[in-house]
C-alpha cells in the first residue's frame, strides 16, 4: 500500500522547513533561495508560497529587503495546516474501493476501518509541528537521529511461490 504526498504538498513542506530554519535577524527568505536550498523547481515556489500566505502560515514583503517568513513560530504551525494550505481540508468523498461494489447508499464494508485510519493520520499530522520536523531534520543532518522503537520497518510482502 502506498501513502504518498503529492508534489504540491511535498514542496510546501520543504518550503516551510526552510522558512522554519534560522536565516538571520528577520528570517525573510527570497523565493529563489528557498528553491535552491530545498531543491524545488523555481517555477513552483511562488505558487506554493502564495498558498501559504493565503492560509496565514507565511507572510510576504515586497522590495529588495523583502521576502517570505513564517507568520507564527514553527512550534505553532502543524504539518496538517501546511498540507491543508496546498491540498485543501476536504476529506475524500470517493469510495475507498474505487467504485467497487458498495452495498449501502453512503457506506461500504471498508468505510469504518478506513475512516478510523484516516482520522488517526490526521490526528498525528495535527500534533506534529514544523519545530518537530526541523528538529528531526537537524538530527538527520548530524547523524544522530534514532528511529523510534514503535516505528517498525516496512513489512516485506511474502514472495510468490514460497
d(Cα 160, Cα 14) in Å, to the nearest integer?
A: 38
pLDDT of residue 112: 81
pLDDT of residue 110: 80
With 0-12 / 13-18 / 19 or more C-beta atoms within 10 angstroms meaning exposed / middle / buried, residue 81 is: buried
Threshold 0.75, pTM exceeds: yes
Q: Please count the other Cβ atoms lying within 10 Å of the Cβ belonging to residue 83.
A: 21
Q: Please count the other Cβ atoms lying within 10 Å of the Cβ belonging to residue 49.
A: 24
d(Cα 146, Cα 136) in Å, to the nearest integer?
A: 9
* 14-26 pLDDT per residue, tens: 999 999 987 655 7
Q: Is residue 159 helix, strand or coil?
A: coil
pLDDT of residue 100: 59
pLDDT of residue 88: 86
Q: Is residue 128 helix, strand or coil?
A: coil
Q: Are 130 and 137 in contact (CB under 8 A)?
A: no
Ranges of the chain with pLDDT below 50: none
pLDDT of residue 65: 85
Which residues, 6 or more positions from 35, have their beta carbon under 8 angstroms from its beta carbon? Answer: 41, 42, 44, 45
pLDDT of residue 32: 95
Amino acid at each position: 500500500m502506498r501513502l504518498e504526498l503529492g508534489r504540491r504538498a511535498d514542496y510546501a513542506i520543504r518550503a516551510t522547513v526552510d522558512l522554519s530554519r534560522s536565516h538571520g535577524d528577520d528570517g525573510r527568505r527570497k523565493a529563489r533561495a528557498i528553491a535552491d536550498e530545498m531543491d524545488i523547481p523555481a517555477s513552483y515556489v511562488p505558487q506554493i508560497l502564495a498558498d501559504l500566505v493565503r492560509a496565514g502560515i507565511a507572510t510576504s514583503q515586497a522590495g529588495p529587503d523583502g521576502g517570505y517568513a513564517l507568520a507564527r513560530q514553527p512550534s505553532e504551525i502543524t504539518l496538517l495546516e501546511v498540507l491543508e494550505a496546498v491540498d485543501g481540508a476536504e476529506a475524500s468523498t470517493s469510495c475507498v474501493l474505487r467504485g467497487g461494489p458498495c452495498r449501502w447508499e453512503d457506506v461500504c464494508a471498508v468505510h469504518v476501518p478506513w475512516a478510523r485510519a484516516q482520522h488517526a493520520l490526521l490526528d498525528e499530522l495535527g500534533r506534529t509541528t514544523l519545530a518537530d520536523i526541523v528538529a528531526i531534520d537537524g538530527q538527520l543532518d548530524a547523524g544522530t537521529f534514532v528511529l523510534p522503537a514503535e516505528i517498525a520497518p516496512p513489512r516485506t510482502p511474502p514472495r510468490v511461490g514460497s
